[in-house]
Amino acid sequence: MNVLILGGGVVGVTSAYYLARAGHQVTVLERQPGAGLETSFANAGQVSPGYAAPWAAPGIPVKALKWLMMRHRPLVLWPRLEPRLYGWLTRMLANCTEEAYRRNKGRMVRLAEYSRDVLRDLRTETGIAYDHREKGTLQLFRTQKQLDHVGDDTRVLDAYGVPYTVLDPAGCIAAEPALAAVPDVFVGGLRLPGDETGDAHLFTQRLAAICEGLGVTFRYGTAIARLHHAGDRVTAVETAGGELLRAEAYVAALGSYTPALLRPLGIALPVYPVKGYSLTLPITDAAAAPVSTVMDETYKVAITRLGDRIRVGGTAELAGFSSALRLPRRETLARSVQDLFPAGGDLSRAAFWTGLRPMTPDGTPIVGGTRVANLFTNTGHGTLGWTMACGSGRLLADLVSGRAPEIASDDLALDRYAA
């Protein structure tokens, strides 16, 4: 078929790759001048199936109130007269039950582990390089209370067969030798050896080049104005320049901007932008930098080694579509990396970035068909877009092609919200 993909981030480009591999004629529309220049540009760098879990969980409402009171708070809520925000928060709170958490966690782990395996196959197929490492994730606990509650996490990991090791301080230092310089900052950790790291932007750009070799057309600098439809089918995409582009199937992969595009079709996507921030700093002492990813549990900050750089990512800010770089968020990221890797990189030369993560109330992305027969969605991945991109792209290609996916997928589509 002739397929139009709307969006050229990591999710849109992986969708293009697998659709092209399946034999379809694919065109990607992207408003930016290149691939992976928005939310995929400077994320935390983790490919973390072991860390795949919904934010909506038992106890989160109480924790969220505490986070909002912290000086270096991981959660920021800007009061706004926005019904969509409060509707989304209400649905998220409804998912903060044991039953909902188990259901949502199961969906996310299934897709995330599949995605990691598909990414490994893609590396073998293409030889793509993107500053990747296969050295796991270390969740670091600063307080004994955090360590005492590690069983809350490991019980879930046991249920889904995710390998892990609970570490004392010496074990943490064995996994991340640079932590030997700050032994008083932490009391233990949880290591997830199956996790990986890599530069999502570099991956997206290089995979886009591979896609072009497979015949995929990229239309950069092409903003989308609206979808035309008749009956239960999309008939064309209208660009901001007034051009009408037609295909047999359409894939909406516009991240946080997907709901606005689909709303005129009567499709209500429960996706809201959750703003994240990152710092990228050059490594000044390789021995004092992280080996892989360290998750600072106190500040909910990820510190990742990407080649000769350190990426520090975190914060969940509910501020609509604001792209303002707020200095207090920078201070939180800087505090975390200074505490744990004080001699690893040069903060004075750090690049400060923000992006909008497309979040669903239950944490699970929305991948699959819609009530419009030839329209598919691949969005709502939240903080796990990089982790789930390859699996989502492969799954989406199977669904568009009419093939049975390799994993269960019925509960990933939009109609789960109608259940």
Binding-site positions for FAD read: 3-17
- Structure token digits, residue 23: 């034999």
Q: Kind and range of the H or E element at 344?
A: none
Report DSSP letters for 90-154, one per residue: HHHHHT-SHHHHHHHHHHHHHHHHHHHHHHHHHHHHH---SS-B---EEEEESSHHHHHTHHHHH
Could you tell me which residues are annotated as the binding site?
Answer: 3-17
Query: Phi then psi for 57, rounded to 5 degrees?
Result: -150, 155
| Cα three-residue angle 34-40-41, rounded to 5 degrees | 70
Of 45, 72, 71, whose CA–CA distance to 280 is shortest? 45
Q: Which two tokens stand for residue 171?
A: 């074990």
Residue 315 to residue 330: CA distance in whole angstroms: 10
The DSSP secondary-structure symbol of 384 reads G
Structural tokens at position 240: 């901001």
Tokens of 385: 């877009």
Q: Report, in this order, helix, strand and coil percent for the chain, each rounded to 5.
A: 40, 25, 35
From the list 252, 253, 251, 259, the residue with the least C-alpha distance to 361 is: 259
Angle between helix 200-213 and 98-126 (nearest 10): 50
